[in-house]
C-alpha cells in the first residue's frame, strides 16, 4: 500500500531529506530494489531511475555511498566514475 503525499512529506521533514527527494521517481518505494545482495539485479530500480527527473542529483548524492543504486549507478559504476541514468 502506497503512503499518501502528506505522510511522505512528514517523513521527509523528520528524516531531513533534501528537497529534490520530493520529485524522485522512487518516492514511496522501499530500499529493497536499491540495495541488493551480491549477484542480485538492479533491473527494477534502473527502470525507475531511467525516467527520474532528479537522477543527476541522486547520482551526485550517491558518490559518497558505498552500497546501493544511486541515480542509476551501481557501486562499481560510481567507483569508476560512470553513470547509466544521469
Q: Where are the domains of the chain?
A: 5-80
**20, 57 Cβ separation under 8 angstroms:** yes
More confident residue, 49 or 76: 49
Report the pLDDT value the prediction gives residue 53, as an integer from 0 to 100: 96
Q: How confident is residue 85, by pLDDT bands cut at 50, 70 and 90?
A: very low
pLDDT at 74 over 80: yes
d(CA 9, CA 21): 10
> Residue 14 class from Cβ within 10 Å (0-12 exposed, 13-18 middle, 19+ buried)?
exposed
Q: Which of 4-8, 37-41, 56-60, 79-83 has the lowest mean pLDDT?
A: 4-8
User: What's the pTM?
Assistant: 0.71
Residue 27: Cβ within 10 Å count: 17
Amino acid at each position: 500500500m502506497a503512503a499518501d503525499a502528506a505522510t511522505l512529506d512528514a517523513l521527509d521533514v523528520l528524516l531531513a531529506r533534501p528537497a529534490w527527494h520530493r520529485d524522485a521517481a522512487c518516492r514511496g518505494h522501499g530500499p529493497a530494489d536499491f540495495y541488493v545482495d551480491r549477484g542480485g539485479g538492479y533491473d527494477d530500480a534502473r527502470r525507475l531511475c531511467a525516467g527520474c527527473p532528479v537522477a543527476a542529483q541522486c547520482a551526485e548524492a550517491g558518490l559518497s555511498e558505498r552500497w546501493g543504486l544511486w541515480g542509476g549507478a551501481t557501486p562499481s559504476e560510481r567507483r569508476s566514475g560512470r553513470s547509466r541514468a544521469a
